Structure 1
Amino acid sequence: MAMEEATADATAGAGTEAAGTAAYTVKRYPVAPGHRVNVRSGPGTGYSLVKVLPEGVRVPINCQKPGQTVTGPYGTTALWDNIANGQYVSDAYVNTGSDGYVAVRCS
């Protein structure tokens, strides 16, 4: 499983002179090669189309939730990946290296 990691700093203690910083890591996973993946507003194909991801893109997975079952290059699954606020892609099109959850469940 190939992952790209990006590190960002989050500032804590806003409004104080000695604001601390904490580093966190965002993992990005590749979408299936040769596929332009539909991004939906919820975990199913019945949700509105938000955008289409270009081939070769890598996506963050903020959280995951069950939804409509989809068959894709990485199997059949009901798991959907939240890649941004109000944006979901089927885990069947994302190479996470796992058939299960790789991120927290969406609330």
Structure 2
Amino acid sequence: MSVDRAEEAATQSLHYYSVAPGVRLNVRSGPGTGYNLVRVLPEGAQVPIFCQAPGTTVSGPYGTTNIWDNINNGEYVSDAYVQTGSDGYIAPRCG
């Protein structure tokens, strides 16, 4: 499978998850609150999850967790604010 086909297949199977209602979610450069703020997602945002990594423990609308979701290259959000339907990992570990 060529790289283009692999990327196309990955994109087609990509699922988007809703950010908690009424939340403007901070996007960090790494899996934790100590990483630089990259941007802020608007209310009603939906995000893909490419991989997940352990990091700073955060409490949010969907519980308390140390799981951080990689939503883009160098962009992470706390899983406590993303409605994945699970308290555990739903994507491969980053790295």
TM (normalized to structure 1)? 0.80
Unaligned runs of 5+ in 2: none
Match for residue 12 of structure 1 among 2, 6, 9:
2
Q: 2:93 maps to which residue?
A: 105
Q: Which runs of 4+ in 1 moved over 3 A?
A: none
Cα offsets for 1:38-64 (capped at 9, x unmatched) = 000001111000000000010000000
Higher RCO, Cα 8 Å, sep 6+:
2
Displacement of 1:13 after TM fit?
Answer: 7.4
Greater helix share, 1 or 2?
2
Q: Secondary structure at the match of 1:92?
A: helix
RMSD over aligned CA atoms reads: 1.8
User: What TM-score do the two structures reach when normalised by structure 2?
Assistant: 0.89
Matched-pair identity in %: 67
| DSSP 3-state at the match of 2:56 | strand
Q: Between Structure 1 and Structure 2, whose CA radius of gyration is higher?
A: 1
